[in-house]
Amino acid sequence: MARIAGVDLPKNKRIEIGLTYIYGIGLSRSQVILNKINIDPSTLVNKLNDEQIVSIRQILNNEYQLEGDLRRLESLNIKRLMEIGSYKGKRHKLGLPLRGQRTRTNARTKKGNKKTIAGKKKAPRK
């Protein structure tokens, strides 16, 4: 099992897909990385040799921000937006969508599941 950037990659998946388990790497970025090192994207993760794993690690460490650093950077950006009082920062504080989506009917995942206004009366106990 290959461990890259603090993440255990799944053994029986293609390396192209396995790299996407690392936070900050999507499919297109993983394809670019594999093209740089000349590794076939259809190679399974458990078929990689140590040299290939080391070369992947080197590229990821030198050229990309991943995992904890990237998460920290995102949270700092969100905090900065909230501190300066921007529109996006206010939406973050309220827990509402911030990219122009409608909220009158949708946005249940952000707003949380609400009960109906009246609620249903319970039958009296006997």
Q: How confident is the model at residue 112 (pLDDT cuts 50, 70, 90)?
A: confident
Instruction: Delineate the domains of the chain, giving CATH numbers in brackets.
Output: 3-64 (1.10.8.50), 72-111 (4.10.910.10)
Element (H, E) at 3: strand 3-4
More confident residue, 121 or 91: 91
Tell me the two tokens of residue 2: 């290959």
Please name which of 65, 76, 94, 72 lies closest in space to residue 5, comparing C-alpha atoms: 65
pLDDT above 90 (res 77): yes
Are the CB atoms for 36 and 64 separated by under 8 Å?
A: no
pLDDT, tens only, 26-49: 999 999 999 999 999 999 998 888
Helix (H, G, I), strand (E, B) or coil at 117: coil
Percent of the chain's residues with pLDDT above 70: 94
Q: What is the pTM of this model?
A: 0.72
